[in-house]
Structure 1
Amino acid sequence: MKELIVRGAPQEYECQTGAWQKLPAHLSKRNIKRVLILHGEQSWEAAQPYLPSLAEFTTYAIPYGGECSDKQSIKLTSLIQEKNIEAIVAVGGGKVADLGKLTAYNNQIAIIILPTLAATCAAYTSLSVVYHEDGSMDRYDIFPTATTLVLIEPEIILHSPIDLMIAGIGDTLAKWYEAEPMIDQLDTPAIEIQVAAFAAKKARDILLKDSAAALIAMENKQLNQAFLNILETNILLAGMVGGFGDDYGRTSGAHSIHDALTILPNCHQNLHGNIVAYGILVQLIIEKKHAEILRLLPFYQQLGLPSSLQQLNLQLSDTDYQRVAKRATLPDETIHFLKEEITPQLVSNAMKELEALVNNGN
């Protein structure tokens, strides 16, 4: 068995109406006085009604620059050193959180995350997905330190774009489908991995049961239990899967397909979770789990998750299929955690088979 290290949770986590208003108290009890507020663009405007006054602190607010990249982190590091910053407060979506975590770790300062979306589990996890400047995925950095604090205000996420919540559902759904085939190869899973498997299965079950009602809540701008369930499933439960399962709870086939598709410039118009949702189905083709695909397709259709390249507005030439399949099967790609012997031809064939299945009916 591979090395297993548990990174189970942030140091502190709170999800309830009014949670953001407690930020000053959290800063004070940590004796933090100088803060860099890293934020998105549109999300920053949406966040304003919910943010507390930080007049008693020295703050520097700066937009994150659109990407979690080494270049952006280096820029922020210069400011942190110049202004003697003691903590980063990341307000925004997954890339803001990831850039905040990366930069905070590089500078050994506190990282506090106030998510404005539930599109990924980035607010919860102690890792960052780092991208090249052209938008293609570079690597995952896993940190030996937990996020200092996560404060979730359900109201701001209730008013966030519905398409981003749907993408979060797609990304979280992958937790079960990617973890299960890895865990299934273990004769005796460790207790930690059993916790990861429980969280992954619980996440899948909640998503299939409550997603439709949660989206209705967002349309009506009215909190309900289904919405709160999906919100915490996308952030907390999803984060627990990798946090307790380590490599057995992170990514396998679906994310390798996602990462490979990002080499196509036209793919960047699609949300991360939507591409991952498509990748789930490609992985299930590889695993010959056709019954599970037929189970998921109505759910995909109900939510508007893409189940084909056509629905991702991608038209691949034979050369594109070969390029994507080659990228998905690089030696260090997590798709090799599946029990099947993975080759570029297998991946290319699976993508084409899925296209025929979805577009020709099932």
Structure 2
Amino acid sequence: MAERLIVRAAPQEFVCREGSWNDLEEHLRRRGIERVLVVRGVKSWAAAGRYWPQLDGTEIHYHVYGGECTYGERDAIAGYAAEHQLQAIIAVGGGKITDVVKSAAAKLNLPAVILPTLAATCAAWSSLSVMYDAHGAYIRFDVFPRSNALVLLDPAVIAASPPELLAAGIGDTLAKWYEADAIIRHLPAPPVEVELAWSTARKCRDHLLEYSAAALAAVSAGVLDDALTRTVETIIMVGGLVGGFGEDYGRTAGAHSVHDALTAIPEAHSLLHGSKVAYGVLVQLALEENFAEIEELLPFYRQIGLPASLADMGLDFLTPGDLLELGERAAVPEASIHRMHGRITAARIADAAVELERFVGSWRRDSSGGPGRALDTGEVAQTNDAAGVGMWTKQAGK
């Protein structure tokens, strides 16, 4: 194996149970933390703020997230925390809020405490941040030498989140198997850590295929059940373990490279991360000429509302030249798509996208079930809490 492997398996502490947020102050007290910065969104706080516990002995400062995980946002958060000599940074929100908090905490060498309001990625688990520019285009991801100090996952909070965000998390986590398998199955002698990542990635796929439909029904009804809890833990914990054990062998391959390329298309900015990754899974399978697996997945995609084609994402206006540009962005030298077996070129990616459109169109025409639940940009619009950039408030504990 050419890559250096460092296991970053898990947060220091992880709790998943209904009401787990209520123990936040006890966890802070055990760590000797008395002054914290809470980074929150607007929309996410409106939905999840009622779960926020009373912190009587903690000095709390608030920052309203600016809507994108950028280095500028990170520096603003870190600068405020340093100026006020705060002892920890707490994220209350989704993946991008979590990532910007992890990045700011790493810059100051402070504990990062994560209270997820969504199960759209494994960001709450992982010790890395995916960074974007101010326009939402992917830049790179940064890996940190310290794990998150604490993750308090309350499935009841997730039960109150929009179903399309859970569906996107399912799409992002489904990719764990297909990307890890595309890399690891070609290794002559994977070490035990990578074997663990491989088997854990398979667990992601198996759990999601079994529980996702029931979990989405639970979220749509606003109730918490076993299927939802298992799905949420699969997205955040099991999905996070894949990269935690496997590092570059279990993190991303073709699907995420296609996602990263899509972020440069303005019309794709409204699409959720996991939706673009789910589409990327199918492009990756088309690259591998594994249309049998695509056919196996299409009913599942239709059932839970994941995009299987450019048309599903409102991107069917892309020309052959546009698709070649997409392929060029997906195949830049540093892209994870090159961890796949064989030589991947921009032309091959563009051809795979075209073949996928043909295959999906043919399958839908032949399928007795029809095209299924329609996807539109309103349904899968990115939930960015964009209001209130730089709004700082302070609440002293009693």
**TM-score, with normalisation over the residues of structure 1?**
0.99
Percent of residue pairs bearing the same amino acid type: 48
Query: For 2:74 and 2:228, how far apart are their aligned partners in 1?
Result: 34
Q: Deviations over 1:206-225 (max 9, x none)?
A: 10111111111112222221
Higher helix share: 1
Q: How does 1:1-362 map to 2 (within 5 A)?
A: 1=1, 2-314=3-315, 315-361=317-363
Bigger CA drift: 78-87 or 330-339?
78-87
Amino acid at match of 1:104: A
Alpha-carbon distance between aligned partners in 1 of 2:38 and 2:29, rounded to the nearest angstrom: 16
Deviation at 1:340, TM superposition (A): 2.2
- Backbone CA RMSD of aligned residues: 0.9
What is the Cα deviation at residue 19 of structure 1?
A: 0.3
Report Cα offsets for 1:13-60 as digits up to 9, x if no partner.
000011000000011111111100001111112222211112321111
Q: Distance in 1 between matches of 2:148 and 2:313?
A: 33
Q: Gaps (5+ residues) in structure 2?
A: 367-398
**Inter-partner Cα distance in structure 2 for 1:135 and 1:356:** 30
Query: Which runs of 5 or more residues in structure 1 are unaligned?
Result: none
Runs of 4 or more above 4 Å deviation: none
Stretch deviating more after TM superposition (274-283 or 214-223)? 214-223
1:237-274: CA deviation from partner (whole Å, max 9, x where unpaired): 00000000011010000000000011100000100000
Contact 2:63 2:77 in 1 (8 A): no
Can you list the C-alpha shifts for 1:133-159, whole angstroms capped at 9, x where unaligned? Answer: 111000000111000000011111011
Q: One-letter code of the match for 1:124?
A: W
User: After the TM superposition, which of the residue ranges 230-239 and 313-322 deviates more from structure 2?
Assistant: 313-322
Residue identity opposite 1:157 in structure 2: I
Contact kept, 8 Å, 1:260 with 1:325, in 2: the verdict is yes
User: 2:220 & 2:137 partners in 1: Cα distance?
Assistant: 33
Worse overlay, 49-58 or 93-102: 49-58
Counterpart CA distance in 1 for 2:21 and 2:79 is: 28
Q: CA deviation at 1:310?
A: 0.4
Which residue does 2:375 correspond to in 1? none
In 1: Cα distance, 2:191 partner to 2:324 partner: 38
Q: Residue by residue, what CA displacement relative to the aligned partner does 1:299-345 show, whole Å, maximum 9, x if unpaired?
A: 00111100000000112123321211110000010000110210110
- TM-superposition CA deviations, 1:71-116 (whole Å, max 9, x none): 1111112211211111001000000000000000001111100000
* Alpha carbons 1:117, 1:165 under 8 Å: kept: yes
TM-score (norm 2): 0.90
Alpha-carbon distance in 2 for matches of 1:17, 1:348: 45
Q: Secondary structure at the match of 1:263?
A: coil
Q: Give SS of 1:128's match.
A: strand
**Partners of 1:318 and 1:294 in 2: how far apart?**
24
**SS of equivalent residue, structure 2 residue 269:** helix
Comparing 313-322 with 181-190, greater Cα deviation is found at: 313-322
Q: Distance in 1 between matches of 2:51 and 2:347?
A: 51
Count of residues paired in the alignment: 362
Following the alignment from structure 1 to structure 2, what is the Cα–Cα distance between the partners of residues 275 and 56? 43
Cα offset for 1:124?
0.3
SS at match of 2:38: strand
The one-letter code sitting in structure 2 at the alignment partner of 1:308 is S
Q: Which amino acid aligns with 2:126?
A: T
8 Å contact from structure 1 (residues 287, 340) kept in 2: no
- Cα distance in structure 2, aligned partners of 1:317 and 1:289: 24
For residues 231 and 65 of structure 1, the distance between their equivalents in structure 2, rounded to whole angstroms, comes to 26
Amino acid across the alignment from 2:50 = P
What is the distance in 1 between the residues matched to 2:319 and 2:188?
42
The answer as to whether partners of 1:93 and 1:115 remain within 8 angstroms in 2 is: yes
Partner of 2:69: helix, strand, or coil?
A: coil
The residue identity in structure 2 corresponding to 1:142 is V
